[in-house]
C-alpha cells in the first residue's frame, strides 16, 4: 500500500511541476518571419489591472494584448483616437499555455498601422 501511495505522490508532483512550467514560462520573442500575422478593424482598446493594452477587433473571437503597454510608454487615448475603426495588423508568436487553452487571448509582438510599426518587440 505504501508503494502505491509513493508512486501516486511522485506522479502527482510531476504533473503539477509540468503544468507549473507551462503556465509560468515567458511568451517567446520570435523573429518577424516566425510570427503569425492577423489583420482586423479595431473596435475597442482598453487597459487592465496589469497595465496591459488590450485590442478587440471586429468579427474576431480573440483579444490581443501588449504586455505592460502603459508602462512601456504607449498612450491609451492616443491609440484609441488613431486606431478605433481602422484596420491594423498584429503579429504574435505561436505558443500555448494552460491558462489560455483555446488561444482566445494573444500576446502582441508587433502592431502595424498604415505601414508604421506602433509597437515592436520582435527579434531583429
78 is in which domain, residue-wise? 29-120
Mean pLDDT of 79-88: 97
Number of domains observed in the structure of the chain: 1
Tell me the pLDDT tens digit for each residue of 98-111. Answer: 877 788 899 999 99
* Alpha-carbon gap, residue 65 to 69, rounded angstroms: 8
pLDDT bin (cut points 50, 70, 90) of residue 22 is confident
- Do the domain assignments include residue 2? no
Q: What is the pTM of this model?
A: 0.82
Alpha helices in the chain (DSSP H): 2-24, 76-83
* Alpha-carbon gap, residue 85 to 93, rounded angstroms: 25
Q: What share of the chain is helix, strand, coil (3-state, %, to 5)?
A: 30, 35, 35
Q: What DSSP state is assigned to residue 28?
A: P
Q: Is the pLDDT of residue 93 over 70?
A: yes
- Do the domain assignments include residue 14? no
Q: Is the pLDDT of residue 42 over 60?
A: yes
- Do the domain assignments include residue 12? no
- Do the domain assignments include residue 11? no
Tell me the pLDDT tens digit for each residue of 43-54. Answer: 999 999 989 999
- Do the domain assignments include residue 8? no
CATH value at residue 47: 2.40.50.140
Amino acid at each position: 500500500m505504501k508503494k502505491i501511495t509513493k508512486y501516486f505522490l511522485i506522479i502527482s508532483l510531476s504533473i503539477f511541476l509540468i503544468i507549473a512550467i507551462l503556465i509560468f514560462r515567458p511568451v517567446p520573442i520570435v523573429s518577424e518571419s516566425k510570427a503569425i500575422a492577423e489583420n482586423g478593424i479595431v473596435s475597442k482598446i482598453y487597459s487592465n489591472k496589469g497595465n496591459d493594452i488590450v485590442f478587440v477587433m471586429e468579427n474576431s473571437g480573440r483579444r490581443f494584448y501588449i504586455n505592460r503597454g502603459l508602462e512601456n510608454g504607449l498612450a491609451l487615448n492616443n491609440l484609441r483616437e488613431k486606431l478605433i475603426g481602422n484596420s491594423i495588423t498584429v503579429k504574435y508568436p505561436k505558443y500555448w499555455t494552460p491558462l489560455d487553452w483555446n488561444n482566445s487571448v494573444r500576446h502582441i509582438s508587433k502592431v502595424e498601422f498604415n505601414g508604421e510599426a506602433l509597437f515592436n518587440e520582435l527579434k531583429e
